[in-house]
Structure 1
Amino acid sequence: MDSPLVMPADAGMRQPWTRAGTLGALDDWVVTGLLDRRRFLAISGAGLTSMPSHLAAAKSPRGFAAAAADSPLIEQIEQAIPLLQRLDDATGGGSHLEYVGAQFRSVALLVRRGGQPRSIETRLLSALAEIGQLAGWMAFDAGLHGPAQRYLFTALRVANECGYRAMAAHIVADLAFQAASRELSSDAVALGESAVSVAQHAPAGVRASIQTRLAYGYAVAGDMSSFDRAYKTGLEVLADGDRAEDPAWMYYLTPSHLDTQAGYALTHAGMLAAENISPSAGRAMLREGETLLRKGAHDRPFTAQAQRRALFEGAWLATAAAGRGNLEEACVLGRTAVARTATVRSARSIEVLARLAARLRRAKRNEHVSDFLPVLESCLARNAQL
């Protein structure tokens, strides 16, 4: 079998930000299909951070759905999107990315074929942007950073084409979040600040979520005063806003979700500080991060819907506890997180569990660690093969 062709994530995406350019970007998805042999590598630096600069500022938030003509096909597509989101919530990005990617290509084909009334085409573009964002997020969760960017770049272009500013801002914030998770602090801050600018007139839930994504970038950069300001701004925006105006895809956003996002940002920053700057400052961040993470989903029942979130937050909480030297608690929390990997495929969460393992290996003689660490190591080895 031939080796895959390695390409940057933005290959073929640098087309004019026009209708023709958007359709040209969609052509690549329609033609390659599920048998795409190319391997896309994530980009960084100016090539990544310049993406939001192309958004058409003159375009207004969408207001077309109520006036659009009826169409059984577009209604079916729109109604399926929340069900696709539940797949991600329940089992993580690695479980059903291929299926969601197929849905993205199917809708892209409809857009590319054309012939619909303008109102229907605009709704198709809106749905395509939402599915593309979801596919990008799932690819990111699956550890496929290049394909994640490629989905998000395309979805951003589509959102711009139909004037879907809230979604465009959300996508830029996803790119910022991805950069922060990869410890590319300059990219994360630049993209997060761009997302805030794009979202100026977006609903409160969107603006609040973006603030916490920006906060993560500041935390990884070590700018803790800016982190605190962005995090508190997010809480204030959410408290003061009219949640009835939020788009349906903001269903998950609550004050506790903002707290837990800040919690793992602080934990990540605390680990970096403890290793590179100041152990005492790092421990303080870990303590605060642990407090915030306890407000989240780490202890949700195994029958609850949001297992991927429970795994991710539980892994970070265990890591925070281990970083502070609370090894017994870290092992208890870690066991619960490991148990969730039986049904959730999330490389992003496995990466956090690997951080936990690195911490625990330093204390192999501890009775709690010696009992749990082999279980954790087996989990990491098993998931490395997926």
Structure 2
Amino acid sequence: MLDPLRIPAATWSDPGVRDALSRRDVGALFRRISQLTGASQTRIGGAVGLEQGYVSRVMAGRKVTSIEVLERIADGCRMSDEARAALGLAPRNRPCQDDMALPPPQRQSDPPVGRSWREDIRAAAQLWEGDVKRRDVIRQMAFSSAGYTLPALRWFTAPAPRNVEQTGLHTVGQPDIETIREMSATYRRLDNQYGGGHSRYAVARYLHQEVAPILKDGHYETSTGRNLLSAVAELTQLAGWQAYDVADHGVAQLYFTRALELAQAAGDAGLGAETLAAMSHQATYLGHGVTGVDLARAAKQTANRAGLTVLTAEATVMEAHAHASLRDERACTAALHQAEITLDRADRSSTPQWLGYFNEAYLSAKFGHCFRALGKPAQAERFAARSLRMDEQYVRGKAFNLALLATTQAQQGEAERACAIGAEALTLTARLRSARAIRYVRELQTELTPCRQRGSVQQFIRRIDAVLGTRR
């Protein structure tokens, strides 16, 4: 693991750095930082959330004009307010620190930037357009756990706008909002049945071509405006989930962040909690357990505020999974117990449609993942088997659960049973466009490798490679 990039405070007074900032020449800035600190392109990219290849092209002369990317660079480099101003960015109102490592989640000296809801719309529209046009500046974004710190802090500290109204050319009414929500429901159903890759770019195009003009040019009063932003936030969150499912993790992080901002502008605490839970899910999946715990707790607190008990249960089980990834068995089992109790007393009559997937089968699957992460395959197997009592419309979820069950069996030395169940998981995975489904089957393949001399295991491993491609 790379050491965090540390840039001394004196760097921002260096003549070469000041000249690069004044010209907004990010390539020259990166080259000078590399000279002063000895940082490689990979370390610089890791700090600012960009792929090494993109950093290399920037250092070779490629221009950076996106405010989104400039903000990410400024945050990752921990620029002083004077340096940010030279780059044309708003100040963070914080002193420049000698230790320029990425900020821990509990840091309180970094207040979020004051932004209007119109700026949130512009940021979201810029993301949709960049995604649709496959711009490198979007596609080369890398996931950074620290990238969730300021959005989560802003969620708790920035007040929702009083007036979300606009005098535009075209009147926006309830039918427009219902159309967006119906599109969300349709794309969510496709996502569950075929995986995120099936319609990810279709959702991005719809947001860019149909939704952005309504937001930017529409005429609406505050009540309609909030409902509109809530509907758009829901679809944006789904786009983030699809990007996450196909392993576009940096893009997914951008979508989740934009969704959280739109939910805040809409005053929709429930959707904000769901988005924070999704952010926790992604962080834990990528091995950032501490961030996963923090985001899950933020989601739980928000769900309590929204009065959605089912959502509180979901956030609690996300926290449990993050604890399990950190091998904290005591904290994990306590959270699992609380999640189970909370779901038992939940009133499902007021559950939003986007939360319909969270039920006893989903909870059992999360229990299974937790116990597997804790190295307890026998307990994990019991819950994985229980998770298969599920709605058949969730094809991707069933593929996950079958792979989980087979993996727990393989870990207990039951190779024949694991191959039989794994074959079902592979059949479903072959129909999906889901990097997560592929990863779970590959993990099963790894568990079976010690038994590959057995005929049935060897045959199944060959089938996996035939369907998914030979493993490198």
TM-score interval for Structure 1 and Structure 2 normalised by the shorter chain: 0.7 to 0.9
Matched, 1:103 2:202: no
1:194 maps to which of 298, 317, 326: 298
Matched, 1:295 2:386: yes
1:307 maps to which of 383, 395, 402: 395
In 2, distance between residues paired with 1:56 and 1:222? 29
In 2, distance between residues paired with 1:231 and 1:142? 28
Matched, 1:120 2:224: yes
Give the match's secondary structure for 2:453.
coil
Match of 2:426 in 1: 338
In 1, distance between residues paired with 2:143 and 2:70? 13
Letter in 1 for 2:244: F
Matched, 1:73 2:173: no
How many pairs does the alignment contain?
A: 359
Match of 1:180 in 2: 284
In 2, distance between residues paired with 1:151 and 1:58? 19
Match of 1:273 in 2: none
Aligned counterparts, 1:150-161, within 5 A: 150-161=254-265
- Deviation per CA, 1:323-362, whole angstroms, max 9, x where unpaired? 1111011101110011112321110111111111112122
Letter in 1 for 2:69: A
Give the match's secondary structure for 2:431.
coil
Which blocks of at least 5 consecutive residues in structure 2 are unaligned? Answer: 1-51, 56-63, 73-112, 165-171
Q: Does the C-alpha gap of structure 1 residues 59 and 205 become closer, same or farther in structure 2, counting only changes over 3 Å?
A: farther
Q: Does the 8 Å CA contact 2:114/2:158 hold for their aligned counterparts? A: no
Match of 1:381 in 2: 469
In 2, distance between residues paired with 1:115 and 1:349? 43
- Deviation per CA, 1:96-151, whole angstroms, max 9, x where unpaired? 11112222323233212232232222221011111011111111111111111111
Match of 1:18 in 2: 116
Give the match's secondary structure for 2:140.
strand
Q: Does the C-alpha gap of structure 1 residues 46 and 146 become closer, same or farther in structure 2, counting only changes over 3 Å?
A: closer
Match of 1:242 in 2: 347
Match of 1:276 in 2: none
Q: Does the 8 Å CA contact 2:230/2:262 hold for their aligned counterparts? A: yes
In 1, distance between residues paired with 2:435 and 2:199? 13
Q: Does the 8 Å CA contact 2:293/2:319 hold for their aligned counterparts? A: yes
Letter in 2 for 1:206: L
In 2, distance between residues paired with 1:383 and 1:166? 41
Aligned counterparts, 1:210-359, within 5 A: 210-267=315-372, 269-270=373-374, 282=375, 285-297=376-388, 304-359=392-447
Q: Does the 8 Å CA contact 2:289/2:325 hold for their aligned counterparts? A: yes
In 2, distance between residues paired with 1:383 and 1:16? 48
Letter in 1 for 2:442: A
Matched, 1:43 2:143: yes
Q: Does the C-alpha gap of structure 1 residues 96 and 9 become closer, same or farther in structure 2, counting only changes over 3 Å?
A: farther
Following superposition, the deviation at residue 59 of structure 1 comes to 5.8
CA RMSD of aligned residues (A): 2.8
Q: Does the C-alpha gap of structure 1 residues 299 and 366 become closer, same or farther in structure 2, counting only changes over 3 Å?
A: farther
1:34 maps to which of 132, 136, 158: 132
Between 1:356-365 and 1:12-21, the stretch displaced more is 12-21
Following superposition, the deviation at residue 299 of structure 1 comes to 8.4
Letter in 2 for 1:363: C
Following superposition, the deviation at residue 197 of structure 1 comes to 2.1
Q: Does the C-alpha gap of structure 1 residues 30 and 99 become closer, same or farther in structure 2, counting only changes over 3 Å?
A: closer
Following superposition, the deviation at residue 46 of structure 1 comes to 3.0
Give the match's secondary structure for 2:419.
helix
Between 1:163-172 and 1:239-248, the stretch displaced more is 239-248
Between 1:142-151 and 1:237-246, the stretch displaced more is 237-246
Q: Does the C-alpha gap of structure 1 residues 156 and 12 become closer, same or farther in structure 2, counting only changes over 3 Å?
A: farther
Give the match's secondary structure for 1:370.
helix
Which blocks of at least 5 consecutive residues in structure 1 are unaligned? Answer: 271-281
Higher Rg:
2
Letter in 2 for 1:93: G
Match of 1:278 in 2: none
Give the match's secondary structure for 1:143.
coil
Between 1:43-52 and 1:165-174, the stretch displaced more is 43-52
In 2, distance between residues paired with 1:234 and 1:145? 27
In 2, distance between residues paired with 1:40 and 1:213? 28
Q: Does the C-alpha gap of structure 1 residues 221 and 4 become closer, same or farther in structure 2, counting only changes over 3 Å?
A: closer
Q: Does the 8 Å CA contact 1:107/1:124 hold for their aligned counterparts? A: no
Following superposition, the deviation at residue 5 of structure 1 comes to 4.6
Following superposition, the deviation at residue 209 of structure 1 comes to 0.8
